[in-house]
């Protein structure tokens, strides 16, 4: 079964907190895991209602918060003013091409290490971070020359 790890993680969290495992939570989890990286509550609600029209917006909203608490999702606020939820999978950062809009994921041990040094310097405990490089990808750079 797909998403076994996530289901287990949620179940563990639910029983550990004396919370219930409901049909709604199951449906929402499945659709959330199948969605693009950054869904808003509204996005997800629209997808959920196609599959289960009886599920309300509030439940989707509260379930996303639950996922955050359970460590399955991260909340992010972007410049369009919407709160989006990101499926917490292997950490990565982004290169965003301002010409073609392409988004490239990257990972850099060097950056993570340097970041940790900064955190230590300020006595700051980092829980998560966001790092985005905006510019021109190689394709667009070549095209414009």
Residue range at the interface with DNA (CB under 7 A); choices 31-39, 80-88, 99-107, 130-138: 80-88
Task: Tell me the angle at which helices 57-70 and 41-51 cross, rounded to the nearest 10 degrees.
Answer: 120
Site for DNA in 19-48 (CB under 7 A): 19-25, 40-42
If one asks whether residue 130 binds a second copy (CB under 8 A), the answer comes out as yes
Tell which one of 83, 99, 104, 139 touches DNA (CB under 7 A): 83
What are the φ/ψ torsions at residue 32 (nearest 5 degrees)?
A: -60, -45
Residue 10: CB atoms within 10 Å? 22
CA-to-CA distance for 25 and 122, rounded, in angstroms?
39
Which stretch, 23-31, 34-42, 57-65, 126-134, contacts a second copy (CB under 8 A)? 126-134
Q: How far is the CB of 113 from DNA (least distance, A)?
A: 33
DSSP 61-88: HHHHHHHHHHTSEEEEE-TTS-EEEEE-
Q: By CB under 8 A, tell whether 92 contacts a second copy.
A: no
To a second copy, the closest distance from the beta carbon of 22 in angstroms equals 28
Give the helix/strand (H/E) hosting 39. strand 38-40
Neighbours of 11 (CB within 10 A): 13
Segment contacting a second copy by CB under 8 A, of 29-37, 39-47, 50-58, 116-124: 116-124
Among positions 11, 71, 83, 143, the unique one binding a second copy when judged by CB under 8 A? 83
**For binding to DNA (CB under 7 A), which residues are involved?**
14, 18-25, 40-42, 54-59, 61-63, 65, 81-83
């Amino acid at each position: 079964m797909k998403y076994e790890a996530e289901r287990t993680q949620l179940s563990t969290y639910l029983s550990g907190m004396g919370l219930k495992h409901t049909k709604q939570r199951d449906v929402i989890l499945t659709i959330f895991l199948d969605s693009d990286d950054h869904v808003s509550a509204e996005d997800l609600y629209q997808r959920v209602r196609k599959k289960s029209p009886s599920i309300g917006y509030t439940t989707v909203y509260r379930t996303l918060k639950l996922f955050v608490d359970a460590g399955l999702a991260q909340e992010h606020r972007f410049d369009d003013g919407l709160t989006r939820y990101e499926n917490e999978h292997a950490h990565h950062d982004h290169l965003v091409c301002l010409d073609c809009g392409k988004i490239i994921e990257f990972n850099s041990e060097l950056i993570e290490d340097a970041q940790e040094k900064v955190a230590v310097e300020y006595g700051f405990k980092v829980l998560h971070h966001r790092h985005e490089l905006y510019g021109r990808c190689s394709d667009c750079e070549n095209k414009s020359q």
